[in-house]
């Protein structure tokens, strides 16, 4: 039996095992090959990265070198320009000094010639003396300096001269200011002016705010082409108004009258109005106040101030201060039964 089992193992089992072993070896070899490929690819990628980095560093170095060269060249050019400017300025200064020296020399020469001519004239005048013994001397004639007018004197002269000139003018009637109103609102204002009657008839019985609201809705519904005529009409009205005002101002200027401007109504600035404090004092429950003084209550009833008196007795401020009830009645009598005035007087 053992011999048969050995034969079976040799003939059947051993080839299968060999096949399995071969397959395993092939798989292991494939894994090794794939790993080697992966390592090779990684190495290639690393080499590529290193090369790209080296290229970038080289390019950066080149750019830095170029920038440095450019900066050096710019600095050199600036220095050359500064030197050229300095040379030009020095030349200008030298030319100015030369011209000034020439002018000064010419002025000195003219002054010397003038002095020599004056001396010669004086000598001639002294030699040509009259027979009666009178001595004729050469006198230098100079222009008398006109006194300068101060601004105050000029104003006084103008103030005297203007009324006289105005009196000499003929009386001209003052021109009337044009009654045209300044158009406002653009095309929307013209649209509202033209359609107001129609919209008010359709909204009979409603306030004017509803008319404006409806008109704005209708104007918004129009297209740009439909709005153009209204805008053109607004521009035409504005130009006519402008021309009328210019004509009025020119006529006022020619006739010597002042131009009148329409006064605007002053609007109250709501932001600057100081808000008034409301009269809202804190009240206390009747249980904390306790019983009322009978004499004070009777007096308040007789005066007709019972409600105001009861309200004052419940005020927290007066309760904390311990104001007596008879004093509250006196304060009500002095204020004529006005609770607010009495409360303000009791707080003092």
**Distance, CA of 58 to CA of 68 (rounded, Å):** 15
Q: What CATH number does domain 152-260 carry, 1.10.30.10, 3.40.50.1100, 1.10.287.1080, 1.10.645.10?
A: 1.10.30.10
Per-residue model confidence as pLDDT tens for the chain (348 residues): 667 667 666 665 566 677 778 888 888 888 889 888 899 999 989 899 989 988 898 998 888 888 888 888 888 888 888 888 888 888 888 888 888 888 888 888 888 888 888 888 777 766 665 444 444 444 444 444 555 556 656 656 655 665 555 555 555 567 777 777 788 888 888 888 888 888 888 888 777 788 888 888 888 888 888 888 988 989 998 899 888 888 888 887 776 667 677 665 555 555 554 555 455 556 666 666 667 888 888 888 888 888 888 888 888 888 888 888 888 988 988 888 888 888 888 887
Instruction: Please report where in the chains the tokens 């030298």 appear, as a residue.
Output: 94
| pLDDT recorded at residue 139 | 44
| pLDDT recorded at residue 90 | 84
- Side-chain-side CA neighbours of 315 within 13 Å: the count stands at 25
Positive or negative, the CA dihedral 223, 226, 228, 233 is negative
Positive or negative, the CA dihedral 322, 328, 331, 335 is positive
**Distance, CA of 264 to CA of 59 (rounded, Å):** 74
> What does the domain layout of the chain look like in residue ranges?
45-123, 152-260, 286-347
| pLDDT recorded at residue 292 | 82
Positive or negative, the CA dihedral 82, 85, 91, 93 is negative
| pLDDT recorded at residue 286 | 62
Alpha helices in the chain (DSSP H): 2-8, 14-127, 151-168, 186-202, 208-221, 224-255, 286-289, 294-303, 306-313, 316-321, 325-334, 339-347
**Distance, CA of 209 to CA of 231 (rounded, Å):** 23
- Side-chain-side CA neighbours of 139 within 13 Å: the count stands at 5
| pLDDT recorded at residue 130 | 47
| pLDDT recorded at residue 148 | 57
The DSSP call for residue 145 is: P
| The pair of three-digit structure tokens given for residue 178, joined into one six-digit string | 């044009």
């Amino acid at each position: 039996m053992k011999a048969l089992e050995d034969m079976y193992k040799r003939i059947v089992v051993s080839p299968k095992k060999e096949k399995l072993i071969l397959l395993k070896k092939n798989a292991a070899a494939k894994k090794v090959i794939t790993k080697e490929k992966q390592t090779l690819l990684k190495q290639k990628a690393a080499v590529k990265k290193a090369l790209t980095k080296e290229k970038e560093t080289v390019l950066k170095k080149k750019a830095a070198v170029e920038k440095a060269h450019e900066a050096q060249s710019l600095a050199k050019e600036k220095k050359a320009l500064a030197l050229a400017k300095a040379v030009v300025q020095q030349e200008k200064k030298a030319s100015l000094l030369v011209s000034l020296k020439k002018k000064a020399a010419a002025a000195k020469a003219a002054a010397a010639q003038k002095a020599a001519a004056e001396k010669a004239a004086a000598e001639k005048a002294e030699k040509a003396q009259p027979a009666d013994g009178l001595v004729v001397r050469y006198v230098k004639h100079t222009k008398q300096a006109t006194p300068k007018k101060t601004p105050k004197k000029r104003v006084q002269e103008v103030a005297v001269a203007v009324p006289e000139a105005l009196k000499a003018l003929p009386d001209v009637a003052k021109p009337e200011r044009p009654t045209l109103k300044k158009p406002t609102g653009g095309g929307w204002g013209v649209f509202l002016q033209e359609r107001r009657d129609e919209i008010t008839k359709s909204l009979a019985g409603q306030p004017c705010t509803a008319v404006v609201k409806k008109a704005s809705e209708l104007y918004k519904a129009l297209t740009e082409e439909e709005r153009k005529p209204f805008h053109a009409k607004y521009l035409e009205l504005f130009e006519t108004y402008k021309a009328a005002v210019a004509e009025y101002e020119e006529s006022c200027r020619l006739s010597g009258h002042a131009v009148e401007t329409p006064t605007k109504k002053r609007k109250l600035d709501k932001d600057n109005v100081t808000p008034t404090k409301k009269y809202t004092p804190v009240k206390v429950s009747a249980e904390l106040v306790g019983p009322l003084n009978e004499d004070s209550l009777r007096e308040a009833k007789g005066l007709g101030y019972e409600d105001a008196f009861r309200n004052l007795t419940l005020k927290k401020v007066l309760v904390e201060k311990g104001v007596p009830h008879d004093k509250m009645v006196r304060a009500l009598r002095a204020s004529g039964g006005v609770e607010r005035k009495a409360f303000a007087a009791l707080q003092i």
